[in-house]
Structure 1
Amino acid sequence: MHKYKELEIWKKSISLTKQIYLITSSFPSEEKFGLKSQINRASVSIASNIAEGAGRNSNKEFNQFLGIAIGSMHEVETQIIIAFEVGYLQKELRDKVCDQVTQLILMTKGLKNHLV
């Protein structure tokens, strides 16, 4: 078992989720059950899967959950791009969040490779 709260990827994913919630709070009210809900859930899924995987009995299982977390990272990135394309975000904010996600993906892949 790994101590997920000590993992830098978990800490960064919590920070990303907080930022996503702040960003989506300014989305139009008609997005409450659309893009806003989807991107919030996807961002929560990142830290949740890291934590759940860390609590599993083997590195193999942890590795699988890290893969799921990476999938959620790509989902968040896609939804941020969509939010920009429909006019909910400025380019600078889109780029900042996408850079954060890219860094988190690389870090998580590094941990996955270490677990193998």
Structure 2
Amino acid sequence: GVRTEAISWVSPYARITNRLKGYIEKLLPLLPIKHISELTGVHWHTIKEIDKQRLKRVVPTVSWGDLRQLVMDEFAIFKGHRYATVIADAQTHQVLWIGIGRSRKDI
């Protein structure tokens, strides 16, 4: 039958080493995914999956029962006439939702 070995520097069923994954995770807050892909030679979708896993670890979960006050703000996208709206918790400043547009219909 087929036998598999546990290797300390590769996660089970992973296509990249733990060290490369850690390097990509450190680059993600600094560079766009496209640039990281060109720099490392790793496919864009693989880097996006690493980013999703990183964000699940880093971003705290929202305790919806503790929300008492919300704040809402809008900001311009690309210094143009397109806008996005952000809704956050007033006490913790944790972002809860971001959406494109600033009208009532968009929100």
TM-score calculated relative to the size of structure 1? 0.27
Higher strand share: 2
Structure showing greater Rg: 2
TM-score calculated relative to the size of structure 2? 0.29
Higher helix share: 1
Q: Which has the higher contact order (CA 8 A, sep 6+)?
A: 1
